Amino acid sequence: MSERRDFFGKALGAFAGLGALGALYAAKRTWDPLPSVKAGGFTTIDVSAAQENVLNTEMWRGKPIFVLKLGKNAKPASAPNGNDANAYDDKRLIEIGGSKYLVAIGLCTHLGCIPAYFGDENKFKCACHGGEFSAAGEVLKSPPPSPLVIPPFKIDGNKLVLGEEGPEYKKMKADGLVA
Ligand code: FES
């Protein structure tokens, strides 16, 4: 009888262990960064595993870079200038593999704090002085004087190469969307 109890005890322990492992695995998946390779001043990020409305923060030349895949139902951004364009249609978004992404340096354009993303509101909020940005990086609430900065990038299939000026970045430059 005690052998039987031992067996059930062990089986239950193993089952609970597996459950905990599963929970750990699920949690780990949500905080794992996207696969990226750094070489010669470039950071190449494979965005194929990016999940909608989940902010990924990568590093490029010592700066945090936000990579955010937008859902098609991203809420409209209520900008102070009355421009309530849907964030999804913003020209500052980058298209990779049929999905739209915000790629921006993750530093507030006011005094350089790192804003946090609130997925339920589709906006970034800066805790330092209350500035807010849309999911496309546009200013929703001052004091930030300008949108989140888009770093030089190139699209290579499902990969994003930071540090290289590809045709999409050059077009943004010609359109005055990046400096
Ligand atoms: S640094 Fe972000 S609002 Fe001031």
Within 6 A (CB) of ligand 1 lie 108, 110-111, 113, 126, 128-129, 131, 143-144
- Phi-psi region for residue 6, left (φ > 0), alpha (ψ -120 to 50) or beta? alpha
Least confident of 86-100, 130-144, 158-172: 86-100
Rounded to the nearest angstrom, the distance between the alpha carbon of 126 and the centre of ligand 1 is: 6
Query: Hey, which of 125, 126, 148 would you mutate to test ligand 1's pocket, going by the most ligand atoms within 8 Å of its Cβ?
Result: 126
Least confident of 4-18, 34-48, 103-117: 4-18
Rounded to the nearest angstrom, the distance between the alpha carbon of 131 and the centre of ligand 1 is: 6
C-alpha distance from residue 10 to each of 13, 17, 19, 21, 22 (Å): 5, 10, 14, 16, 18
Atom of ligand 1 nearest to the CA of 126: 2
pLDDT digits (tens, 9 = 90+) for 73-124: 666 555 544 454 556 677 889 999 888 999 999 999 999 999 999 988 889 9
Distance CA 119, CA 52 (A): 10
Least confident of 19-33, 67-81, 100-114, 163-177: 19-33
For residue 143, say if its preceding peptide bond is cis, omega within 30 degrees of 0. yes
